[in-house]
Structure 1
Amino acid sequence: MTVESNAKGTKRKKIVKVILIISFLFTGFIGYGVYWAFFDMNRLPTGEYLTEATSPDGTYTLKTYVSGTSLSADAVRGELVFNKRNGKTKNIYWNYRESTAKIEWLDNKTVVINGHTLEVPNGNYDWRKQ
């Protein structure tokens, strides 16, 4: 094997590595873009206020909203409000083909929304991911 052929092989390996890295980055950006556009709970429509309920210890308030258009069925969005963190909010519930919300706190960290039990603050329900 000559020095020249060895240099060509090394150059090819570098080119292949660069192409693979670019391909992975492109695929990652596309994947994140699809998630952001279609599945990110922070991009849900605001909707009209329905009801709210506060946890027994007052740490959280769950507010629900209904949204829909003439082209789609109604959907209920549940927004968790962190009362002790300056009112910071987080969407934790999104269910399609609903127009009402029944909220029941079982304890300080467990809430039932329309029959779906969630552990707050990290639990969530999104009909698109079920």
Structure 2
Amino acid sequence: MSSRMSSMFKRHPVLLSLSFAFIMIFCVFGYLFHWAFYNIERIEPGELISEKTSPSGEYTVRTYLNNGGATVSYAVLGVLFSNEKNNDSKHIYWQYEETAGEIHWIDEDTVNINGQKINVPGGKYDYRHP
């Protein structure tokens, strides 16, 4: 098999090099697209608005007011902290043009932030992808 690959590379070095370069560029753009439009973990918390602990005390949700600057409206970021795992955190809520951060625990595994129900610890809400 390796002799077949080496002979194919000898016959078509430009085609294989271009294919490899295209695949690498596609992977880099895919990662950047995910980072820019789907990953809310990169968002820095701003000013703390509210904080509520789950009924069992296993989780704490904090909401932060995020000031995007002069040209962007305020946004609210919700962060889930695991009280049993050394404050391991996960961003679970991101809403643009919002200033309130009302948190209500529905049950042990469901939290309501500004009217959005989120199952914890796996769920999340991002206004860009409802």
* TM-score of the aligned structures, taking structure 1 as reference length: 0.85
**Structure 1: where are the runs of 5+ without partners?**
1-6
Do structure 1's residue 24 and structure 2's residue 18 form an aligned pair? no
Q: Extract structure 1 runs of 4+ deviating beyond 6 A.
A: 7-10
Q: Which runs of 5+ in 2 are unaligned?
A: 1-6
Fraction of identical pairs, as percent = 35
Question: What CA distance in whole angstroms lies between the structure 1 residues aligned with 2:9 and 2:53?
Answer: 67
Which has the higher Rg, Structure 1 or Structure 2? 1
Matches within 5 A, 1:114-125: 114-125=114-125
Kindly indicate whether the alpha-carbon contact (under 8 Å) linking 2:9 and 2:16 is maintained by their aligned counterparts in 1. Answer: no
Q: How far does residue 10 in structure 1 lie from its aligned partner after superposition? A: 6.7
Q: Which moved more, 1:114-123 or 1:25-34?
A: 25-34
Alignment-derived partner of residue 44 in structure 2: 45
Measured at CA, do residues 8 and 90 of structure 1 come closer, stay the same or move farther in structure 2, by a change above 3 Å? closer
CA distance in 2, matches of 1:84, 1:51: 20
Q: Give the alignment's Cα RMSD to 1 decimal.
A: 2.0
Moved more, 37-46 or 66-75: 37-46
The whole-number CA distance in structure 2 between the counterparts of 1:111 and 1:17 is 51
For normalisation by structure 2, the TM-score amounts to 0.85
